[in-house]
Structure 1
């Protein structure tokens, strides 16, 4: 989750969401836009991870630890956002229809 000192965390996240919303208006397919966003996130995270190693062999040794970290982070963030949408379902769905 965001570092308390990183005031731009949600601004950056919102920028990605806004891009996906623009793509949704253009392409009209929630599943495809969501899949593209998720693929982009995983590709970027793989690239960021690569920068921490001196070789592919070294990276391969850390592969399971990286998978565990990213999967745990994704699950934690998804749980928080699902709970938020469950608790605010009427508010969010009304705002969408407005």
Structure 2
């Protein structure tokens, strides 16, 4: 699926300075998208890879959220707040990327066509 080395240009207002931390953030995201793209093939279509990626994000987020807790009961008590936090973050990121994809649809469709193996 679409992986653009200029991801930071797509989702961030042009008036915002791209800090080294932001650059690193987008580079990590692009690397993860690259791993997901490498999983595409005859045995796994984009929906299957996307589902695995969502599961991996949820699994990793649960692990990250647990950092700093000493007792499982305390962690469990925070579950609803943790879910709310991650859902809010994901909703905003998904919305931003859908907007970006719609605005750059022809470019991204061409990128996706270029990524397909020749038959």
TM-score (norm 1): 0.89
In terms of fraction of residues, the more helix-rich structure is 1
Give SS of 1:27's match. coil
**Structure 1 residues 5, 94: CA separation in 2 closer, same or farther (over 3 Å shift)?**
closer
Structure 1 residue runs of 4+, over 6 Å off? none
Using the alignment, how far apart are the partners of 2:87 and 2:81 within structure 1?
10
The question of 1:55 aligning with 2:102 is answered no
For these two proteins, the number of residue pairs brought into alignment is 96
Task: Give the alignment partner of residue 71 of structure 1, picking from 84, 87, 99.
Answer: 87
**Structure 1 residues 57, 34: CA separation in 2 closer, same or farther (over 3 Å shift)?**
same
Task: Quote how far apart the aligned CAs of 1:61 are.
Answer: 1.3
**Structure 1 residues 45, 24: CA separation in 2 closer, same or farther (over 3 Å shift)?**
same
Using the alignment, how far apart are the partners of 2:102 and 2:20 within structure 1?
28
Task: Quote how far apart the aligned CAs of 1:30 are.
Answer: 1.0
TM-score (norm 2): 0.75
Q: Which runs of 5 or more structure 2 residues have no equivalent in the other structure?
A: 1-17, 115-119
Using the alignment, how far apart are the partners of 2:112 and 2:45 within structure 1?
16
Using the alignment, how far apart are the partners of 2:60 and 2:46 within structure 1?
21
Deviates more, 1:18-27 or 1:75-84: 18-27
The question of 1:94 aligning with 2:117 is answered no
Partner of 2:58: 42
Partner of 2:33: 17
